[in-house]
Amino acid sequence: MGSRFDVTVVANNAEEGDEYIDLAVNEISRIEKLISSWDPNSQTSEINRNAGLRPVKVDQELFDLIQRAIGISKLSDGAFDISYASMDKIWKFDGSMTEMPKAEDIENSVSKVGYQNIILDQDSSSVFLKLEGMKIGFGAIGKGYAADKAKSLLIQKGVVAGIINASGDMNTWGFQPDGKEWKVAITNPLDKNKAFALMPVTNAAVVTSGNYEKYVTFNGKQYSHIIDPRTGYPTTGIISVTVFAPKAELADALATSIFVMGIEVGLNRVNQLPKIECIIIDDKGAIHTSNNIEIDKI
Ligand code: ADP
Ligand code: MG
């Protein structure tokens, strides 16, 4: 999935543990084959190739994932949008940009973006991207989805406890062999070698979207590599968002959404959602948290 997965399981012996880990790895690979927009043989690539042409029949699993992604687009007023993938790459964050792109070019860059143009038909289990040149991608939700699926497969196989770590996005269940809760360290985006909090995560996911390195500065303002799919402008003001949720999929998607929604709207939205909490760090290093969170500072 272009990202590293680490799987931890509690088992009776190493052999049993290895078997469980193999199951998880196979499940993650299976999902990657379905949702990768890089693999030309995936159903996702087939949807993209047929944009503006015809609906494509897909597995129920992919259909459902797209339907949930559209749900998150609605929840976030379009801040989250899997059709971000067709955006023209006019912003570069490798130090090569010397001036702001032109307003007109920025506006044009998002002309193919819009979840309203992803047409689902439940009866035929098909997906149609209405505009030619449209594309979908699961960069902000796929890792979480794969982690949830691997976790539920292992639970189904009787694994009592474990952690799926998808490049720092943590998804846990059960308890450590000594009966203690799993604890996840939240790193300080201003100093990646230092954790600023240790949070218990019991049968839940914690996902961080970070922005520490990739940004460009114009007129003293930092523009991040996460771009608002509605406007084509990079987001400003936030350097890291951590979301706690029962499922990694929602946590993953919300972390990206909050970046785009901004501190006030993001917190507001999270405070209305049951069992979801977040920690936002702004570009001055200040910490903003949702209503029901208590940070154990270390
Ligand atoms: P990471 O996993 O790299 O820490 P995120 O979970 O925030 O970061 O996902 C960022 C990725 O999500 C981008 O690389 C891109 O593939 C995709 N993406 C970017 N903006 C959006 C958006 N507004 N809606 C949905 N997906 C997005
Ligand atoms: Mg994300």
Sorted by where each starts, the structural domains of the chain and their CATH numbers stand as 1-37+139-162 (no CATH), 43-129 (1.10.3980.10), 181-289 (3.10.520.10)
For 260, list phi and psi in degrees, rounded to 5.
Answer: -75, -40
* Token pair listed for 206: 């914690």
Ligand 1 atom nearest to CA at 252: 6
Is 86 a pocket residue for ligand 1 (Cβ < 6 Å)?
A: no
pLDDT of residue 298: 52
pLDDT of residue 210: 81
Residue closest via CA to ligand 1's atom 1 equals 209
Residue closest via CA to ligand 1's atom 23 equals 80
Is 226 a pocket residue for ligand 1 (Cβ < 6 Å)?
A: yes
Is 229 a pocket residue for ligand 1 (Cβ < 6 Å)?
A: yes
Work out the average pLDDT over 2-26.
95
Condensed to tens digits (0 to 9), the pLDDT of residues 167-191 reads 888 999 999 999 999 999 887 777 7
Nearest ligand for residue 72 CA: 1
Distance CA(209)–CA(141), nearest Å, equals 11
User: Residue 100 — pLDDT band, cuts 50, 70, 90?
Assistant: confident
Condensed to tens digits (0 to 9), the pLDDT of residues 29-81 reads 999 999 999 999 999 999 999 999 999 999 999 999 999 999 999 999 999 99
Contacts of the segment 62-66: beta carbons below 8 A, 24+ positions apart: 62/34, 62/35, 62/127, 63/120, 63/122, 63/125, 63/126, 63/127, 65/35, 65/138, 65/141, 65/145, 66/118, 66/120, 66/127, 66/136
195 alpha carbon to ligand 1 midpoint, in Å?
Answer: 23
Is 129 a pocket residue for ligand 1 (Cβ < 6 Å)?
A: no
Task: Give the DSSP letter of residue 262.
Answer: -
Cβ neighbours for 14, distance < 8 A, ≥ 6 positions apart: none
Is 159 a pocket residue for ligand 1 (Cβ < 6 Å)?
A: no
Task: Count how many Cα atoms sit within 13 Å of the Cα of residue 238 in the half-sphere of its side chain.
Answer: 30
258 alpha carbon to ligand 2 midpoint, in Å?
Answer: 9
The DSSP H or E segment spanning 104 is helix 103-109
Task: Count how many Cα atoms sit within 13 Å of the Cα of residue 141 in the half-sphere of its side chain.
Answer: 27
Choice from 256, 265, 278 to test ligand 1 binding pocket (greatest atom count within 8 A of CB): 256
pLDDT of residue 225: 81
Residue 276 has pLDDT above 90, yes or no: yes
- Angle at the Cα of 139 from the Cα atoms of 133 and 145, rounded to 5 degrees: 125
Distance CA(55)–CA(43), nearest Å, equals 12
Is 249 a pocket residue for ligand 1 (Cβ < 6 Å)?
A: no
User: Residue 194 — pLDDT band, cuts 50, 70, 90?
Assistant: confident
Distance CA(59)–CA(93), nearest Å, equals 36
Spatial CA neighbour of 80 closest among 66, 89, 69, 90: 69
Is 82 a pocket residue for ligand 1 (Cβ < 6 Å)?
A: yes
Choice from 35, 37, 81, 84 to test ligand 1 binding pocket (greatest atom count within 8 A of CB): 84
Is 256 a pocket residue for ligand 1 (Cβ < 6 Å)?
A: yes
More confident residue, 188 or 102: 102
Task: Give the DSSP letter of residue 201.
Answer: -
Percentage of the chain modeled with pLDDT above 90: 76
Condensed to tens digits (0 to 9), the pLDDT of residues 198-208 reads 888 999 999 99
Residue 297 has pLDDT above 60, yes or no: no
Is 140 a pocket residue for ligand 1 (Cβ < 6 Å)?
A: yes
More confident residue, 95 or 36: 36
User: Residue 152 — pLDDT band, cuts 50, 70, 90?
Assistant: very high
